[in-house]
């Protein structure tokens, strides 16, 4: 480095420090290496009692371009009665990481992988989550398969789950598949090379599009958040890209909602305790009503997800530029998702945002601990078969796990938010003095806040902000950035 060149801010060190600050232990315990080596030394597939061999099906996965921890794969078939049968294969993590190991204890403590933009801090070692327990292309794996059938109205029925051997035939990415499904781009190379794979994905898309319509009819909320990811050169971010939703992301979202519903109902029908994923009926509904009133719309006095979604859809059409900010306000007023214990024969509080009563987390065990717990509960259910149910966790243990997972998920969001701000400050540092089109996103006693439109970055107006209000379009000049604190300061031109 030239002696006069400013030293690059160390984002990876900052991410590690932020993890520690928010209660994580980003480094694996000493004994974990020995356990990992023992797992790696086991050749072939681990024993999987009663597993069906479904490796012959044309399974594929769709995930982010950069994803290496593949949790699920999909396959579908057309049924004679017009319904579409969907199978979701979920990585069996528990078969490699049993309860009581150091790796399991670490996962139970961390509860989630944390994606900081510059580094992933995995809940399980990458050798497992990106290797041995990941549903990698052309690798034989043990999985838990969740099955359901989708009718013309988008209703999923005949849900069941079982163990199986699977093999991912094609690892695909959202951007390529989404553009192709929407007719905006060519088929990805693997899809272009296989008419069967193309037909398979079209069928999956048909099932998912039916389900989207069905869920919105029941009041699922069509919320839109702005998600970004840094574009990296080595360890250094050089730009910030906006993540776009498309037909492929929708396909996976719909399948996961349905699969998680199947598992929640399996526990309910069997009368066993489990952990559910919920979003409570908003306590601050009156404020949501006020928000709608300010935009010329009337919502009912009592919480009503269908009425709220009708309002959101109308606003999205009327004012797409401000819709992400409206979505964010509604999300904050609804309150975050949480994990709770639901006892046998107890009614779940439900998920207000998804407009579903029965919902759990079961489809991402490589990166979420509640999903590993769900696998263990499910396997105990499989083993029951006429025998007394041997619960792998007591209700008290499940309650403690649920509370801790909610806390750590909240902490993970804080780490990720901290790092988004720091990454943005590093990316914009060379652009001090440049001007950007922006929109005012907040005005309060602390100041006026804007979001630039390209790249999507949030900052504070420190000069010329007087008289501005939320929604105003402005041009701002970048005055300074502070990567350590994640501060970005603008003046209005």
Segment 145-173, tens digit of pLDDT: 999 999 999 999 999 999 999 999 999 99
Inform me whether the pLDDT recorded for 484 exceeds 90.
yes
**Based on the domain organization, do 157 and 213 belong to the same domain?**
yes
Residue 356 pLDDT > 80, yes or no?
Answer: yes
What's the pLDDT score for residue 215? 75
Residue 121 and residue 245 share a domain: yes
* Residues 313, 229 share a domain: no
Q: Is the pLDDT of residue 64 over 70?
A: yes
**Range with lowest mean pLDDT among 117-131, 157-171, 383-397:** 383-397
Is the pLDDT reported for residue 340 higher than 80?
yes
Q: In terms of domains, do 420 and 454 share one?
A: no
Residues 308 and 403 reside in one and the same domain: no
Q: Is the pLDDT of residue 459 over 90?
A: yes
pLDDT at 5 over 50: no
The total domain count for the chain is 3
42 and 142 in a single domain? The answer is: yes
Residue 2 pLDDT = 39
Task: Assess if residue 74 is contained within a domain.
Answer: yes
- Give the pLDDT band of residue 284 (cuts 50, 70, 90): confident
Q: Are residues 353 and 373 in the same domain?
A: yes
Say yes or no: 270 and 151 in one domain.
yes
For residues 340-353, give the mean pLDDT: 91
pLDDT at 251 over 50: yes
- pLDDT over 80 at 385, yes or no: no
Q: 62 lies in a domain?
A: yes
For residue range 92-106, list pLDDT tens digits in order.
999 999 999 999 999
- Whether the predicted pLDDT of 3 surpasses 60: no
Split at pLDDT 50, 70, 90, the class of 23 is very high
* CATH code of the domain in which 476 resides: 2.40.50.140
pLDDT of 303 higher than 60: yes
User: Do 49 and 182 reside in the same domain of the chain?
Assistant: yes
Same domain, 438 and 320: no
Instruction: Output the pLDDT for position 377.
Output: 97
Q: Is residue 243 part of a domain?
A: yes
- 482 is a domain residue: yes
pLDDT score at 390: 92
Query: pLDDT averaged over the chain?
Result: 92
Report if residue 4 sits inside a domain. no
Show which of 372, 400, 425 is a domain's final residue. 425
Whole domain around residue 455: which residue ranges? 432-492
Q: What's the pLDDT tens digit per position in 209-247?
A: 999 877 777 777 877 777 888 998 888 899 998 888 899
pLDDT value, residue 409: 97
Give the DSSP letter string of 368-380.
Answer: BHHHHHHHHHHHH
Residue 190 has pLDDT above 80, yes or no: yes
Q: Is residue 411 part of a domain?
A: yes
pLDDT digits (tens, 9 = 90+) for 394-430: 999 999 999 999 999 999 999 999 999 999 999 999 9
**At 189, is the pLDDT very low, low, confident or very high (cuts 50, 70, 90)?**
very high
Residue 137 scores a pLDDT above 50? yes
Average pLDDT (366-387) is 92
Residue 202's pLDDT band, with cuts at 50, 70 and 90, is very high
Of the candidates 371, 405, 425, which is a domain's last residue? 425
Q: Does the residue 2 lie in any domain?
A: no
Per-residue confidence band for 481, with pLDDT thresholds at 50, 70 and 90 = very high
Percent of the chain with pLDDT strictly greater than 70: 98
Question: How much is the pLDDT for 208?
Answer: 96
Residues 446 and 413 in one domain: no
Residue ending a domain, choose from 372, 402, 425: 425
What confidence score (pLDDT) does residue 4 get? 39
Averaged pLDDT, 441-446: 84
Q: Do 384 and 467 lie in a common domain? A: no
pLDDT for res 7: 59
For residue 5, being part of any structural domain is answered with no
């Amino acid at each position: 480095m030239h002696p006069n060149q400013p030293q690059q801010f160390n984002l990876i060190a900052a991410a590690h420090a932020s993890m520690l600050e928010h209660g994580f232990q980003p480094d694996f315990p000493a004994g974990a290496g020995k356990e990992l080596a023992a797992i790696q030394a086991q050749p072939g597939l681990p024993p999987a009692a009663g597993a069906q061999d479904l490796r012959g099906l044309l399974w594929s996965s769709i995930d982010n371009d950069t994803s290496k921890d593949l949790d699920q794969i999909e396959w579908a078939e057309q049924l004679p009665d017009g319904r579409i049968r969907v199978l979701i294969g979920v990585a069996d993590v528990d078969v490699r990481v049993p309860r009581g190991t150091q790796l399991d204890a670490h996962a139970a403590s961390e509860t989630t992988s944390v994606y900081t933009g510059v580094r992933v801090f995995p809940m399980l070692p990458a050798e497992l989550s990106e290797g041995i327990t990941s549903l990698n292309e052309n690798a034989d794996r043990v999985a838990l398969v969740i099955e359901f059938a989708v009718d013309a109205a988008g209703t999923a029925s005949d849900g069941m789950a079982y163990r199986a051997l699977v093999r991912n035939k094609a690892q695909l990415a959202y951007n390529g598949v989404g553009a192709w499904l929407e007719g905006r781009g060519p088929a990805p190379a693997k899809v272009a090379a296989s008419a069967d794979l193309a037909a398979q994905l079209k069928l999956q898309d048909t099932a998912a599009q039916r389900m989207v319509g069905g869920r919105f009819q029941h009041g699922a909320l069509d919320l839109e958040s702005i998600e970004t990811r840094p574009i990296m050169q080595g360890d250094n971010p050089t730009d910030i890209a906006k993540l776009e939703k498309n037909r492929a992301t929708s396909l996976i979202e719909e399948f996961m909602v349905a699969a998680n519903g199947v598992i929640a109902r399996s526990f309910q029908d069997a009368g066993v305790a489990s952990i559910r994923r919920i979003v409570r009926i908003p306590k601050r509904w009156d404020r949501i009503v006020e928000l709608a009133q300010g935009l010329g719309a009337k919502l009912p006095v009592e919480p009503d997800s269908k009425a709220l979604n009708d309002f959101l859809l109308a606003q999205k059409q009327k004012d797409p530029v401000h819709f992400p900010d409206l979505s964010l306000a509604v999300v904050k007023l609804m309150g975050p998702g949480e994990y709770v214990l639901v006892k046998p024969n107890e009614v779940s509080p439900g998920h207000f945002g998804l407009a579903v009563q029965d919902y759990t987390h079961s489809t991402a065990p490589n990166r979420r601990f509640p999903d590993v717990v769900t696998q263990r509960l499910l396997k105990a259910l499989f083993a029951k078969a006429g025998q007394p149910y041997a619960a792998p966790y007591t209700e008290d243990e499940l309650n403690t796990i649920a509370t801790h997972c909610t806390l750590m998920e909240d902490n993970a969001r804080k780490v990720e938010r901290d790092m988004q701000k720091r990454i943005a400050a590093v990316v914009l540092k060379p652009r001090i003095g440049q001007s950007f089109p922006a929109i005012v996103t907040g005005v309060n006693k602390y100041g006026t806040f804007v979001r630039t439109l390209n790249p999507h970055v949030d900052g504070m107006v420190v000069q010329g902000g007087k008289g501005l209000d939320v929604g105003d379009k402005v041009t701002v000049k970048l005055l300074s950035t502070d990567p350590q604190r994640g501060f970005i300061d603008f003046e209005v031109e």
